[in-house]
Amino acid sequence: MHNANTYVHWLAKVGLQKPDVYFEDNSRSMEDIEKIFGQIDEVVNDFLKEFEYVLDTIAIFNIPGKDIQLNLSPLQLFTHVITHEFHHKGQILSMSRLLGYTPVDTDVILY
């Protein structure tokens, strides 16, 4: 849920200035998680559609509820959430190895 809520925060709330609707952080089935990430796919699609022609243009993004403005490109926001997700993926793989497990292949390119 942490990764899902990171997408909600940065892309929906900060990038698109939509109301914050965070996911509750409790145990869920794999089916529930797949549904949630289906919703995250919609957030990502909305964000990319909104900024399609200005991805590399610096803009002012306000942090709702805080007196903070960020001068970033939409591409920087998008890159931030992707990098964040892969950071946690790496942590999980490292912990698995340290615990003696052989993690599944996580390469996203299949051939």
- Round the CA-based radius of gyration of the chain to a whole number and report it: 16
Look at 78 and 89; give whichever has higher pLDDT: 78
Amino acid, single-letter form, for residue 55: L
Statement: residue 111 has pLDDT above 70: no
Per-residue pLDDT, averaged over 70-92, amounts to: 94
- d(C-alpha 70, C-alpha 52), whole Å: 19
Per-residue pLDDT, averaged over 50-73, amounts to: 94
Statement: residue 106 has pLDDT above 90: no
On the CB side of 45, CA atoms within 13 Å amount to 6
> What's the predicted TM-score (pTM) here?
0.85
CATH superfamily of 2-98: dinb family like domain (1.20.120.450)
Of 53, 107, 47, 37, whose CA–CA distance to 79 is shortest? 47
Provide the mean pLDDT of the chain.
91
